[in-house]
Structure 1
Amino acid sequence: MNKVILIGNLTKDPELRYTPNGVAVATFTVAVNRPRANQSGEKETDFINIVAWQKLADLCASYLRKGRQAAIEGRMQTRSYDNKEGKKVFVTEVVAENVQFLGGGQQADGQKPANNDFDPFGDPFANAGKPINISDDDLPF
């Protein structure tokens, strides 16, 4: 079984590219804190490369930004290639199958939505305690 689940913060904005066939691919790195401190008592962080394809790549490029927290579910992949000097380079990365956008939401332009805008990736209880405008026609009962 090859299953990876990570929660971390993006180290930079996702990079969106397209294959020659027009398939979207987004790459980004997440910083994931280790649960225990090392022998010196310091917390350590792993920097894990993520690859997302097709519609998921477009969504990641639109909604994820540097510093934003995300949960990534996917599979570990290893591959190799020869670099410009002819030396074989090995790469280990996670191919994302599902990405949950955590923390505060941002629009594609990097701005936070106004308080009255629906933010599908942010805190669902952000407007807690404020009146909600619902008509009787909206209720299922």
Structure 2
Amino acid sequence: MLPGKPGCPHHLDFRGFPRAKARGVPALPPRLDKGTGGRAVGTKEALAMNIVNLVGRLAKDPVARDRSDTRITELILVTERPVIRDGKVQKDPETGYPVKDAEFHKVTVFNGMGLPLRQHKAKGDQLAVTGRIHYSRWQDAEGNDRYGCEIIAENVEFL
């Protein structure tokens, strides 16, 4: 900071602004958030996060795969985003509507959370999913390494 000039030493463009006065603010307990797996937000435990929020439509009906001890429901969720080129949203020349790219996400739902999806949701229905990204590696029948990516759902909401 320049001598005799009040302001922030880190932001020299704001040298003319006075410093904020210190206030006594009561300490709040750390906030727990579902998206961090119950870890306190703002703590070292929550610094490494793997959180995915998706809102989209089902590309096909939910698929049930039950094992002896686990119920698995698999979904393909389609999300859309506008195509942007040169900082502008591209429009279809015939209709004038924005051109959109579709992305397909494999979502895996475990145990009881998947039962309502199986019973009440079908292709085209809209869902909101909060979960985490999971990567897997395996070898196929020829011994080649294969890789996969999926979203493990922690919360699913019907929209």
| CA apart distance, 1:20 | 3.0
Q: Which aligned segments of 4 or more residues in structure 1 are displaced greater than 2 angstroms?
A: 38-42
| CA apart distance, 1:85 | 2.5
SS across alignment from 2:113: helix
* Mapped partners of 2:156, 2:55: distance in 1: 10
> In the alignment, which of 49, 52, 55 is matched to residue 7 of structure 1?
55
Give ranges in structure 1 of 5+ residues lacking alignment: 103-141
> In the alignment, which of 122, 129, 132 is matched to residue 75 of structure 1?
132
Larger radius of gyration: 2
RMSD over aligned Cα atoms: 1.5
Alignment of 1:1-141 (within 5 A): 1-21=49-69, 23-34=70-81, 36-39=82-85, 41=90, 42-102=99-159
Alignment TM-score, normalising by the size of structure 1: 0.66
Give ranges in structure 2 of 5+ residues lacking alignment: 1-48, 91-98
* Mapped partners of 1:98, 1:27: distance in 2: 14
Are the equivalent residues in 2 in contact too, given 1:38–1:44 (CA < 8 A)?
A: no
* Mapped partners of 1:24, 1:2: distance in 2: 23
* Mapped partners of 1:99, 1:91: distance in 2: 22
Aligned residues: 100
Alignment TM-score, normalising by the size of structure 2: 0.59
| CA apart distance, 1:58 | 1.4
Q: Which amino acid aligns with 2:127?
A: A
